Amino acid sequence: MATRHSQDSMLLDDTLLVSGNVTYPIGFKAYGVHAGLRRKRLDMALLWSCRPATFSGMFTTNAAKAAPVVLTQKVATRGLSQALVVNSANANALTGKTGEEDALAMQQMVAEGLHVPPPFVAVASTGVIGVSLPMPRVTQGIQDLIGGWANLRDEKKSDGADASQAILTTDTMTKTGARLVHLSGGTVRLGMMAKGSGMVHPQMATILCFVTTDAEIAKPVWDDMIHHAVDRTFHRISVDGDASTNDMVLGWANGMSGVSVESAEDVDKVRWALTDLMRQGARDVARDGEGATHLVTVVVTGAATEDDAAAKARAAVRSPLVKSAVYGRDPNWGRVVAAVGSTGQSFDPAHVDLSMNGIMLLKAGNPVRFNEEQARAAMASEEVIFVVDLNVADASAEAWGCDLTERYVTINAQYRRS
């Protein structure tokens, strides 16, 4: 794994990794139901904050944005939100005027049911592109979700577990996490639920990530934290190189802890904890790539800048040749160096060191003799880690991907029939 900087180590002392999801912070509830959008699995979710929260988001840069993305961007611009409704199985993307009307109808129904202003409701969708939503089923799903919200005594149904399941598509596992952070004024909590498995690539991916905190944070500061965290996590993953129409990362800060994040030290602590939480989510998305059998981590160190290191690391994790070599447990390390050198930025292979799961493969640009069978055995690990040292300066960055398997083709060839 990449070595943590000394500053990271100090911040880690005030951050605890705990079990939980978006309902771990005070004042958040989340529900999931089966509305019939999928054959059997839960397929609609509701996230609710008991009071309006400072709201921020980052969204796909794909010009073919889905209707819920366009709508929720407006919510993020206003900066306050109290609820989120999500459906899986259908992306409501490239669905024309009907799609826009359906997204607005979802927002309006949730707002009426929760007795909040419609602009306080975010909407997200994920699934098949180019198919209109079956609104009678969506309407029933929202009614069921609102019924769960109204029955606040049912703590089990509001604990976020069902919601974390309901947002999945081809995922094989939920992606949740939580952090507890000690600040100068008290303790605050952060929670997350995410999804993503295929159509995953930086800027961004077919990922939905929802983070919550009970800290009180000003809008400009919360925006900066979200952007900082996403740039270092979800912008550094790739499964297949395809950027989605629907991806978004949304964050709510409802202030229910009574702890305000104002000092530079407290801002650093929360920013670090949020980034660490999203790093967990990003790694889980890459690990759960469609058909994947290995998580691929590329760490680039010794770079002139963090941006340069990140670009080189991303180039390696998105390379089909690197992905295929990892799947075949083939220590064909030249593919990694070739990918790192393909970014168009400064690169001198004569200075480069490369190791794989602790086995040195290249030193100062010269191949190192290694035991082939030992290297293949090392590549049988669930995570294959390449460390590329450019030996130029001190900047570093990580990126995450997965191997490329026959199963990926099968999943996507049969996606609409799943």
CB within 8 A of 112, min separation 6: which ones? none
User: Which of 15, 23, 54, 206 is an active site residue?
Assistant: 206
Would you call 219 exposed, middle or buried from its count of C-beta atoms within 10 A (0-12, 13-18, 19+)? middle
SS3 53: strand
SS3 179: strand
**Residue 206 among the catalytic residues:** yes
Residues facing residue 80 across a β-bridge: 54
Residue found under tokens 């670009």: 311
SS3 103: helix
**For the chain, how long is the longest CA-to-CA vector?**
68
> Which one, of 361, 363, 409, 404, lies nearest residue 386 by Cα?
361
In 228-382, at which residue ranges do the beta strands (DSSP E only) sit? 237-238, 248-253, 295-303, 353-356, 359-363, 366-367
CB within 8 A of 329, min separation 6: which ones? 376, 379, 380
284 phi, psi to nearest 5 deg: -65, -40
DSSP designation for 350? G
Q: Tell me the C-alpha distance between 366 and 351, whole Å.
A: 9
Q: Mind telling me the catalytic residues?
A: 206
